[in-house]
Amino acid sequence: MRVNEIFKSLQGEGFNTGTAAVFIRLSGCNLRCPFCDTQHHEGTEMNEQEIIDHVLQYEIPLVVITGGEPSLQLTSTLVTALHKIGKTVAVETNGTHPLPENVDWITLSPKDMFVGDEARIVLTKVNEIKVIFDGEHEPKPYNDITVTHGHFLQPCDTGDNEQNDRIVRQTVDYIMRHPQWRLSLQTHKMIQIP
């Protein structure tokens, strides 16, 4: 697998905000989202045992596999190996490819409203949906997907403080009018941790 980085931090977004986690960022993505804030293209080839050995450095029970797009590389054997060392495995995905069935938690962050048909979602059941809200595109309800732990709306980080403030206000206003959504903030950026 091509691994961009492995590090520990707090989960900054969604249902598990504030939870300590080991992040495995896999390289590469099948989409080119205009607002992507992740440098995921570079990476080092690692086999599954090398990944496990790295994760063992951290006494943290939650492992979050992210990217790029982790479904392009993630295997059920890596998930099983992480389970064997006592880890719970969460995946953050755009939902365009199937995931191993033994993943414990799925965060779907759909991008179809930004990049069109190439971001067609194939997943039918997830733990949470986290939609990036830019103040311009109406969030889809995704009624055809079973969601066990909530719909989250996350203000898009444009890199411009004035524009970000406007988008946050629009996000709050949207949630007040559509209370099936919950607010997700990128708290890791707010408190300046990786």
Taking only the tens place, the pLDDT of each residue in 60-87 is 999 999 998 999 999 999 999 999 999 9
In whole angstroms, give the CA distance from residue 155 to residue 135: 8
Q: Please check the confidence at residue 32 and state whether its pLDDT lies above 90.
A: no
For residues 165-192, one letter each, b for 16 or more C-beta atoms within 10 angstroms of the residue's C-beta and e for the rest, the string is eebbebbeebbeeeeebbebbeebeeee
Q: Phi and psi for 92 in degrees, rounded to 5?
A: -105, 120
State the pLDDT at residue 51: 98
In whole angstroms, give the CA distance from residue 26 to residue 42: 9
State the pLDDT at residue 28: 85
- Asked if 36 is an active-site residue, the reply is yes
Give the rounded distance of the alpha carbon of 182 from its chain centre.
16
State the pLDDT at residue 69: 93
User: Token match 């444009």: residue?
Assistant: 158
In this structure, what is the dihedral angle of CA atoms 27, 99, 105, 130, given to the nearest 10 degrees? 70
- Asked if 188 is an active-site residue, the reply is yes
- Asked if 187 is an active-site residue, the reply is no
State the pLDDT at residue 33: 60
Q: Are 85 and 58 in contact (CB under 8 A)?
A: no
- Asked if 33 is an active-site residue, the reply is yes
- Asked if 152 is an active-site residue, the reply is no
Q: Phi and psi for 117 in degrees, rounded to 5?
A: -60, -30
Q: Please check the confidence at residue 29 and state whether its pLDDT lies above 90.
A: no
State the pLDDT at residue 57: 97
In this structure, what is the dihedral angle of CA atoms 60, 110, 38, 6, given to the nearest 10 degrees? 20
- Asked if 23 is an active-site residue, the reply is yes
Catalytic residue among 33, 54, 158, 187: 33
State the pLDDT at residue 16: 97
Distances 22 to 137, 145, 177 between C-alpha atoms, Å: 32, 27, 36
pLDDT band at 11 (very low <50, low <70, confident <90, very high): very high
CB atoms inside a 10 Å sphere around CB 39: 11
Average pLDDT over residues 146-171: 95
CA atoms within 13 A on the CB side of 147: 20
State the pLDDT at residue 39: 60
Distances 96 to 18, 27, 99, 108, 119 between C-alpha atoms, Å: 27, 16, 9, 10, 6
State the pLDDT at residue 75: 98
Which of left, alpha, beta for 9 (phi over 0: left; psi -120 to 50: alpha)?
Answer: beta
Which domains, and CATH codes, for the chain?
Answer: 2-190 (3.20.20.70)
Q: Are 90 and 63 in contact (CB under 8 A)?
A: yes
Catalytic residue among 7, 35, 37, 80: 37
Catalytic residue among 7, 35, 38, 41: 38
